[in-house]
Chains A and B, each alone.
Chain A
Amino acid sequence: MQSSALSRYIGLIPSSVMIGAFFVIPFVLILLTSVSTPTDDGGYATGFDLQHFERFLTWFYIERALFSAGLCALIAVLSLLIAYPFTYFLTTFPPRSQTFWLIYILAQLSLSEVLIAFSWQILLSRTAGVANILVWIGVIEKSFAMTPSAGAVVAALVYLTVPFSVLLLFPALSRLDKSLIEASRTLGASPLRTFFTVIIPVTRPAIISGGVTVFVLTLGAIIVPQVLGKPEHWTLSVLITDQAIFNFNMPFASALAVVLLVLSATVIWLVTKFSGKKT
């Protein structure tokens, strides 16, 4: 008994050391920096000072935090709305084409956010963008730029997150017990009704975990909002970059990062608390 407990602990050591070194220590450093005190020469020293959090507590930054959360929630919903039907139909394909599609979607993940943001910028520009196609078909008279705008930010972020959603939904949907669907149909439910009252409830845990993952992933997006959005579409992550890189204010950047972390932790906690139990 004792020796097996011991061996279990020993087995935990490598992963614990890794998690400690690469996750806990940096996080503690951010936490310490966020409450550090300024020094006379413009730097900062270890101490306890809440001024950076006080600076956050103005309507501007609170509004930015709420905007970021709202935008990420919207992206999570849109991404799932696109990915869910696609993934469901994908699971009905023969295994060979399923593999092909999954490899194709995995390959999309190798595109970086930077590449995607700049590609969308060209795609939505006046001179080389899709507006020219609209002119060509005769829908509009003169080409126009579709960026920077809220629509551009949403489009690129959804594009960025759909592959993740598909991969997160795929295991649950492919393991779905087909006899449930047959039972529902035999009992007289229409395909649509079966979809909403049987398939969706059964795969709810996957939908929720997929939504949360996309939400958290989008919270960290910097390039897309900055390149494709106007300043009013810049998220908290963009402001953190500004503070850390351009304004040289590590303590305030750290404080904003802590706020961002609290925000995502709260969302994860709320979602697991209110939706995880029934299944």
Chain B
Amino acid sequence: MPTTLSRRRFLGTAAATGAAALAAPAIVQAAQSLKVGTYGGFFEDSFKQFIFPEFTKATGIEVNSVAVPTGETWLVQIKNAARAKTAPADVSLMAGIPRSHGADQKVFKALDDSKIPNLSNMPDRFKDRYDDGTLYGVGAVSWYITLCTNSDEIPEAPDSWAALWDETYKDQIGLLGLASNSHMLEVTAATFFGGTDILDTKDGIQQVFDKLSELVPNVRLWYKDEGAFQQALQDGEIPMGQYYHDVAGLAAAEGFPVVSTFPKEGAVVDSGYWIVPEHAQPVDEIHEFINFISAAETQALLSRNVGTAPVVDPALTDLTEEELAAVSSPKAPIVPRYDIYKDHADWISDTWNQMIAG
């Protein structure tokens, strides 16, 4: 018995040493490079083209870009990797509900405020903290979901979300397919119930659902794939719907008849935060990266090239009024109520599915 044990222990030690020896070159190499995850497609391309080279120029740290999925998928991948004590990226974008779920399950590494001096540039809502006050998420970019129209089919763009309920647009509207990414509950509450406070109670949410279900006959496409809707919007096949302001702006710049309007009730504002998986290794480089993106100059660069709204005080940036207007609006935005999708997750998802299935 003792021999078996010691033999096993020996084997274990030998294996660990071997693994460490094999891993060593990787660590040395990793010190000069950082794996950064941004949403695949346009976002990743823009970061690779405009932001990462600037970061490498400023710090000498190479960036390996990783395309990450939006939504919970990425959190699931981070959690699965964590079981194997690895991280699929050193630092990555994450928004809304997945971030909140991840924080509940403590899968994000605690960050050190003192290593990110540029944190002082941004309001507290862009600093995500655990209950004990440690920082785990830092605002990266903000974007808006607006009311988008095809100007060939609808020459005069409506200025209120209420247009989605207008019977003249029967079977002509495209909306995001999930309660938790379309935020139509918040939009309905802001448009017809004077604000999102009504969503505090389940009864209130039910009332909002009742109002929201009235627009179902107008919806032609409940999209999960952005590309499908953008194509239909550009072609005029589906002339109106909710879409991302930045991408709509790019389509318009390319000459497509797409107009993005900030409705009078406000556009939905959503933000991506940098989070760091628990087992990410190059801690100093990660902090340096987050600090770089939080700088007012980088935020201005993002607004100009990626079309996102700055997470720092706009007054600190050198963005002109026109440039700022292109990415954001002085109108008060509709802020998503992530809490309701956590507290009533199953009920909202079931009620939503039943509603859209008619």
Is A249 an interface position by the 8 A CB rule?
yes
Q: Is the CB of B346 within 8 A of A226?
A: no
| Chain A residues closer than 8 Å to B178, beta-carbon distance | 242, 246-247
Q: Is the CB of A247 within 8 A of B72?
A: yes
- Partner of A232 from the list B72, B75, B104, B357 (CB cut-off 8 Å) is B357
| Chain A residues closer than 8 Å to B8, beta-carbon distance | none
A55 to B346, CA, bound (A): 9
- Partner of B222 from the list A41, A60, A231, A243 (CB cut-off 8 Å) is A231
| Chain A residues closer than 8 Å to B349, beta-carbon distance | 242-243, 247, 249
Q: Is the CB of B105 within 8 A of A249?
A: no
Closest chain-B Cβ to A29's Cβ sits at a distance in Å of: 13
Given contacts A60-B353, A249-B346, contact A41 B104 (CB under 8 A): yes
Q: Tell which of A95-103, A121-129, A134-142, A198-206 binds the partner.
A: A121-129
Q: Is the CB of B220 within 8 A of A231?
A: no
Q: Is the CB of B71 within 8 A of A245?
A: yes
A-contact 0/1 string along B96-128, CB 8 Å cutoff: 001001001110000000000000000000000
Residue of B nearest to A58 (CB): B350
| Chain A residues closer than 8 Å to B228, beta-carbon distance | 121, 227
Is B2 an interface position by the 8 A CB rule?
no
Contact-size category for B: 20 to 34
A234 to B341, CA, bound (A): 22
Q: Majority SS of interface residues in chain B?
A: helix
Is B134 an interface position by the 8 A CB rule?
no
Is A248 an interface position by the 8 A CB rule?
yes
| Chain A residues closer than 8 Å to B237, beta-carbon distance | 125-127, 145
Is A220 an interface position by the 8 A CB rule?
no
Q: Is the CB of B180 within 8 A of A246?
A: yes
Given contacts A42-B342, A227-B225, contact A245 B72 (CB under 8 A): yes
Q: Is the CB of B357 within 8 A of A248?
A: no
Q: Is the CB of B346 within 8 A of A231?
A: no
| Chain B residues closer than 8 Å to A41, beta-carbon distance | 104-106
Interface residues of A in 217-260 (CB under 8 A from B): 226-227, 230-232, 234, 239, 242-243, 245-249, 252
Is B76 an interface position by the 8 A CB rule?
yes
| Chain B residues closer than 8 Å to A121, beta-carbon distance | 228
Is B235 an interface position by the 8 A CB rule?
yes
| Chain B residues closer than 8 Å to A70, beta-carbon distance | none
Give the most central of A42, A226, A232, A247: most B CB within 10 Å. A247
Measuring CB to CB, which residues of chain A are less than 8 angstroms from any residue of chain B? 41-43, 55, 58, 60, 64, 121, 125-127, 145, 148, 226-227, 230-232, 234, 239, 242-243, 245-249, 252
- Can you identify 9 A-B contacts, CB atoms within 8 angstroms? A64-B357, A227-B225, A239-B353, A243-B349, A245-B71, A246-B181, A247-B180, A247-B345, A252-B346
